[in-house]
Structure 1
Amino acid sequence: MNQLSSMGEAAAVDRPNPGAAQGAVLLLGSSLTIMGAVMIAPILPKLAAEFVPSNPAAAALVPLVATGPALAIALCAPLAGWLADRVGRKMLLLLATLVYGLVGAAPALLNDLGAILVCRFVLGAAEACVMTCCTTLIGDYWQGETRVRYVNRQVVTIGIVGTAFFVIGGAAGEHSWRYPFYLYLLPILLVPAIASVLWEPLRAARTASSHDDGASATSVKLGPTLAIGYLLVCLGMICSFVVPVQMPQLMIDIGEHSSTMIGMASGVGLLSTLGGSIAWPFLRKGVGRRFVNVILLALLAVGLYLFANAHTVKAVLVAVVIHGFGAGLLVPNSILPLMRKLPLSTRGRGLGGFTAALYLGQFVSPLVVLSGMGAFGGLRPSIVAIAVGAAVVALLWLPSALRSRDDA
């Protein structure tokens, strides 16, 4: 790492050593983004029953209640990263968490679908700030293998919290679609912890007058690294979200209409994602980070191909296990080189772009499948085409992985 970047790292840790308290706050804060989607997904049929009968055009808007925040994150994360570098990570995280809780719960009191959608998009903007700040602070507070551990813990925590709140949100929505929205008030409890436990790394770094100029020059040199990281995570998320989004339709196609069985298959895929995240540190040390990219893309390709050709529940489960394992390797492996190489004063902007690419991939995944259905003649051929694309990218990555064993 160059000298200027090292100065930023030194300034960032010129405070009491971060530990479990800071880690817990940042891991829980990172989980707010998954809460934003999974708690609402189970109540979409109830929302449709509430608003569609009186306004049939609302049928096209109801899904945006679940997917709208992802689009807002993709659009707002670069701005969130810029703000994190300008006004500080801690202050932005504190304000965004407070906004998250208030606008997240607001739909419980609203009777207009348009107003609910506005709240959901504002929620997404708040999520962009929260995720960018939490990820940036992990990079600011820790270095080396400790940073690697916290990056992986972040991914695992998001998966565990997502699983829990998918169930909690469904249970809360059994009697009314309004009840799950009240759960968004819970993160406000994090605000006092953010205020008291975290500190602002940029404050000390600004004492180095030459740091910003050097950081800007360094960021220009990092253009290829940033572009590769953004492209990898965007393409990976397109492949990753094919399974959860298309699972219901494919299960119905094979004659399985039980919502319990469909939910179980989705749950198996999510657990497999956790398995991939847990295995990632061992794979990274064993074969190197670049080769892990080849492995995860190959697993996504194989899983999608098997998923597209599955005609029994057992075959679907095998496919989602393979696919989920690959998806679990994606985020930690693609974010680590960015977190290591970005200097302190521009780390927020760099990781804000990463967050945008990640959620852009989520949002466009159904659109890519839909386009493929028109081009290739159906859902299954469209998924096969995406699998082939992932396999091609894996093959293109292979020569680089064989030339350099990069564990960074």
Structure 2
Amino acid sequence: MHDIATHFKGQMESDPSGRFLVSLLSFTTDTVSIRYLIKFILLSTPALMIVLCSPFMGWASDIWGRRKLLIAALFLFAFSGMSGYFASTLTELFIGRLFLGMSIAAIKTLTVAMVGDYFTGKERDRFIGWQGSAMKFGGVLFLLLGGYLADIHWRIPFWGYALAFLALPGAIFSLYDPKKPDATTPSSASKAIALPISIPKVGFILISAFMASVLFFMTLVQIPFFIPERFAGSPGEVGFAIALANLAGAGIAVLFYRFKERLSFVTIFTLIFALMGLGYWLVSVTPNYPLLLAAMTIAGCGFGLIVPTQSAWMLSEVTGARRGFGIGLVTTAMFLGQFASPVLIEPFIDPEDPSSVFETAGIILFGLSITYAIISFFQKSKRDIAS
């Protein structure tokens, strides 16, 4: 990212998008540096587009079908991602990231919704877990590949988005839109869209997804500062700690269906918050780097259950005609949490004590775990009375 900032530094005032974004970002800081600008373009811009576009993508797929939209999104993902290699101006880079965010919104929403189209019951829970695991493994591999290619030249990692072309044959020849009267034709789908959903239940899912995302993403924001300040760790040690947490998450996500066989969704979120809380608290008190890795592994087990749990939970609460829209809302909640995390965590950061933010987050997570345990208890009691 340093090399990208150096390359585009001279365009902050001459490029139209550069001037616009500097003016926009000036409301958040007194001085907008080129590094801040590039971080916003490369990271925040796609996330913001995902937040805005995910419900629309899901709604559109409920009406017109998911397969063709997914194929188009894969093409858009590849070309918009690769556009960074050819970008010669900040405007070109910015537009490419806008379209990249749109494509990710579609891919993330449609692939989960299609799991709901194709599978039910335990088979759905098993596949959701594998999907969550693949996301974790893919994230780790993409980061490692990007880091390796960036050592050659800063433009080359943008070719990594071409990997989307490998998924296209499967999308074209293997996927299909189930022929359901309430989800395939515009006229019947429009009527289905009007069907009510349980706002309290869906709202609770979205709040849970948002809170989990805020507290998960703080790891990616704070660990790169915490390890060097606490242990004088290197960038490699930072990357290894984050990768280990994600690998632990990938492993536990595969077992999601086992958790679902025995526990309700609320109880699983109780476990998620407890594991994250324990991991974060241990991070705050650990005296050395090896024990930090153990703490990150514990927290990572909580991370790995977040996506499959919120996805399966939403799929269980919405009808087939509203499936895409429901998953789009979950995607928005998740990325809104990612977008808001640095802002919400900032008041708890003590520059004199880098461990304090993890201690505070651990306490908050333990509180959430207790709250969800109480809710789970009353839900179980209500079901027992009803039966």
Q: Same fold (TM over 0.5)?
A: yes
> In the alignment, what sits opposite 2:232?
256
For residue 9 of structure 2, the aligned residue among 40, 52, 67 is 52
Q: What letter is aligned with 1:395?
A: I
Structure 1 contact 139–147 (Cα < 8 Å) conserved: yes
For residue 242 of structure 2, the aligned residue among 266, 269, 272 is 266
1:124 aligns with 2:101: yes
Distance 1:239 1:268 in 2: 18
> In the alignment, what sits opposite 2:278?
302
1:362-381 equivalence runs, <5 A:
362-373=338-349, 379-381=354-356
1:172 aligns with 2:129: no
Aligned residue pair count: 360
Structure 2 contact 62–189 (Cα < 8 Å) conserved: no
Write the deviation string for residues 323-381 of structure 1: whole angstroms up to 9, x where unpaired: 1111111121222121123111111111100111111111211222223237x976433
> In the alignment, what sits opposite 1:388?
363
Write the deviation string for residues 3-51 of structure 1: whole angstroms up to 9, x where unpaired: xxxxxxxxxxxxxxxxxxxxxxxxxxxxxxxxxxxxxxxxx12212323
**Per the alignment, do residues 338 and 207 of structure 1 end up closer, same or farther by CA in structure 2, a change over 3 Å counting?**
closer
Shift of 1:192: 3.7
> In the alignment, what sits opposite 2:288?
312
Single out whichever of 114-123 and 89-98 deviates more from structure 2. 114-123
Structure 2 contact 2–35 (Cα < 8 Å) conserved: no
Distance 1:300 1:94 in 2: 36
Structure 2 contact 132–253 (Cα < 8 Å) conserved: yes
Distance 1:279 1:357 in 2: 24
Single out whichever of 252-261 and 124-133 deviates more from structure 2. 252-261
Write the deviation string for residues 82-117 of structure 1: whole angstroms up to 9, x where unpaired: 111222211211111111111110110112234212
1:56-205 equivalence runs, <5 A:
57-64=33-40, 65-201=42-178, 204-205=181-182
For residue 240 of structure 1, the aligned residue among 216, 219, 227 is 216
Shift of 1:285: 2.2
Q: Give the CA RMSD over aligned residues.
A: 2.4
Q: What letter is aligned with 1:146?
A: E
Identity %: 23
Structure 2 contact 182–192 (Cα < 8 Å) conserved: no
Shift of 1:119: 1.0
3-state SS of the aligned residue for 2:355?
Answer: helix
Single out whichever of 232-241 and 289-298 deviates more from structure 2. 289-298
> In the alignment, what sits opposite 1:286?
262
Structure 2 contact 125–256 (Cα < 8 Å) conserved: no
3-state SS of the aligned residue for 1:198?
Answer: coil
**Per the alignment, do residues 189 and 264 of structure 1 end up closer, same or farther by CA in structure 2, a change over 3 Å counting?**
closer
Segments of structure 1 that go 5 or more residues without pairing to the other structure are: 1-43
Structure 1 contact 240–324 (Cα < 8 Å) conserved: no
1:339 aligns with 2:339: no
Shift of 1:202: 5.5
**Per the alignment, do residues 311 and 53 of structure 1 end up closer, same or farther by CA in structure 2, a change over 3 Å counting?**
farther
Distance 1:145 1:172 in 2: 40
Distance 1:185 1:370 in 2: 36
Distance 1:352 1:59 in 2: 31
**Per the alignment, do residues 51 and 400 of structure 1 end up closer, same or farther by CA in structure 2, a change over 3 Å counting?**
same
Q: What letter is aligned with 2:357?
A: S
Structure 2 contact 63–184 (Cα < 8 Å) conserved: no
**Per the alignment, do residues 207 and 317 of structure 1 end up closer, same or farther by CA in structure 2, a change over 3 Å counting?**
closer
Distance 1:124 1:215 in 2: 25
> In the alignment, what sits opposite 1:217?
195
Structure 2 contact 69–106 (Cα < 8 Å) conserved: yes
Structure 2 contact 136–304 (Cα < 8 Å) conserved: no
Shift of 1:288: 3.6
3-state SS of the aligned residue for 2:154?
Answer: coil
3-state SS of the aligned residue for 1:126?
Answer: helix
Distance 1:98 1:210 in 2: 29
**Per the alignment, do residues 287 and 192 of structure 1 end up closer, same or farther by CA in structure 2, a change over 3 Å counting?**
closer
**Per the alignment, do residues 46 and 202 of structure 1 end up closer, same or farther by CA in structure 2, a change over 3 Å counting?**
farther
Write the deviation string for residues 274-325 of structure 1: whole angstroms up to 9, x where unpaired: 2331333223323443322111111111212222333421232122111111
Segments of structure 2 that go 5 or more residues without pairing to the other structure are: 13-31
Distance 2:293 2:180 in 1: 50
Distance 2:279 2:210 in 1: 18
Q: What letter is aligned with 1:313?
A: Y
Q: What letter is aligned with 1:143?
A: T
1:358 aligns with 2:334: yes
